[in-house]
Amino acid sequence: MSSSNSGLLVTAIIAVGIGIAFLVSDARTPSTRWLSGALLATGVAIGFNAYLLHVGVEDLPFWARAAGFIEALAFICGVEWGIRVSRTAGERAGPRVWGLSRLAEVFVLFHAALSAVFPVQRIEHLIGAMGDPAFYLSPWFWAFATVPTVGFVFITIAAVRMLMRGPDKAESGRILSMLVVLPLLGFSFIVPLHLAPMTLALSQVVFLFGALRYFMVQGARAQFMARFMAPQVAELVRTRGLRQAMRKHRVTVSIVCVDIRGFTSYAHGVEPEVVLRLLRNFYAAIGMAAARYGGTIKDLAGDGALIVIGAPVEMEDHAARALALARRLQSHTRPVVQRYSTSLGLGVGVATGQVAVGIVGQRARFEYVAVGPAVNLAARLCDRARDGEIRVDADTLQLAGESARGKPLRRTVKGLAEPVATYVLGAEDASNP
């Protein structure tokens, strides 16, 4: 086997290895699955071509006609990755990127069909570029080099458009590296055969730089989401990107605010290490309860927490989930804090209304925020709730399809012009989480 073939086999193994590594590391993200497919198919295509070059045109098997379709599969998987990435840039980027991408696929499929009809000429094209300048003037060279090059040009334009529209931050690094990789892959079709392995290897190194940045950003996100977000939010981020999933917008949600009763006096009378253990167990219980009902923890501050239900993942039954979460907190989280002292208790406030939600901050430090009267109301209701009580506004009860015993309390809440009708759910109402 020639040194050129050996070099092609090495680059094929590297491409397959990178594809497997991507798939193992980030298999749940749709864009990564398509990108892994592109890398795996690229490795197979390179290895397949290396074998055909070793066999030569005299003993070319019939199934050599499939070589172009393997290359097309790699290209199409890459295009599908780009289309999914374009969705993270918003609706503006979608139609044009989609149209250019499909047009690029047409050219690559035409190249595959040409390779199937003229397999001998295709191999001669790959071999003929080695040390024979006159070959670049032959019609077969232009036939096999021009068609995929046009496809690469279309997909490059689509990638530039997508990048200008502001895709997901994690994917932008892979797009930038792909813009460098595409010309290198195109050159591998026209450079002398002994230079093709170098061109392919260089493209893999460049792409690895973009992949490294992708996994660094995703790692920072994973820490953020694991701490504050409901599990279904992670799936939304995988399919739409952080920017689209967390974009600032108005939405009707339910807010649950919880606070430990008697915490201040208790904290003054025990060792700080004990207080830390209490808070650690308290926050852990809140996290499990919030995840159970799809809540997103907006704040963990001191001896309390504020949980949003209905954002960033919209839920039609957010009010019912909020009441179920409030009852879960009283029935399961309250005993956790009371294990440290019977003087401790739990108060919960629940309110529903329209809020503005989104992420604020920059670089690695950012926070998911919710701003609106419902947030203030839930906090005020929580402040007034006694141990074991759930104070809830009438809107939450109405949306949840529930009713409470007794007359509503008319409360004046700071920031609201009119008094708010609220109800108190006692221990007997909170017994069924």
Of residues 262 and 78, more confidence is placed in 262
Tokens of 224: 């953020």
pLDDT value of residue 349: 94
What gap in Å lies between CA 307 and CA 261, rounded to an integer?
18
- The yes-or-no verdict on residue 248 having pLDDT over 70 is no
- The yes-or-no verdict on residue 431 having pLDDT over 50 is no
* Confidence label for 399 from pLDDT (cuts 50, 70 and 90): very high
Tell me how far CA of residue 52 lies from CA of 1, 66, 173, 200, in angstroms: 11, 11, 35, 18
pLDDT value of residue 392: 93
pLDDT value of residue 432: 45
Lowest-pLDDT range, 14-23, 241-250, 332-341, 394-403? Answer: 241-250
* Confidence label for 415 from pLDDT (cuts 50, 70 and 90): low
Q: State mean pLDDT over 239-251.
A: 66
pLDDT value of residue 430: 47
Of residues 387 and 139, more confidence is placed in 387
Among 214, 265, 179, 301, residue whose Cα is nearest residue 36: 214
pLDDT value of residue 234: 59
The pTM of the full predicted model, rounded to 2 decimals, is: 0.54
pLDDT value of residue 422: 84
What gap in Å lies between CA 178 and CA 398, rounded to an integer?
52
- The yes-or-no verdict on residue 194 having pLDDT over 90 is no
* Confidence label for 433 from pLDDT (cuts 50, 70 and 90): very low
Of residues 40 and 242, more confidence is placed in 40
* Confidence label for 4 from pLDDT (cuts 50, 70 and 90): low
Q: Alpha-carbon torsion 30, 32, 36, 37, what sign?
A: positive
Work out the mean pLDDT of the chain and round it to a whole number. 78
- The yes-or-no verdict on residue 361 having pLDDT over 60 is no
* pLDDT tens-digit series, residues 61-111: 888 888 889 988 988 888 887 777 766 655 555 556 667 777 888 888 888
* Confidence label for 132 from pLDDT (cuts 50, 70 and 90): low
Lowest-pLDDT range, 53-57, 274-278, 383-387, 391-395? Answer: 53-57
pLDDT value of residue 402: 84
Tokens of 27: 């298999």
Q: What percent of the chain has pLDDT over 90?
A: 20
Of residues 408 and 102, more confidence is placed in 102
Q: State mean pLDDT over 114-129.
A: 75
Of residues 330 and 432, more confidence is placed in 330
Q: State mean pLDDT over 24-45.
A: 84
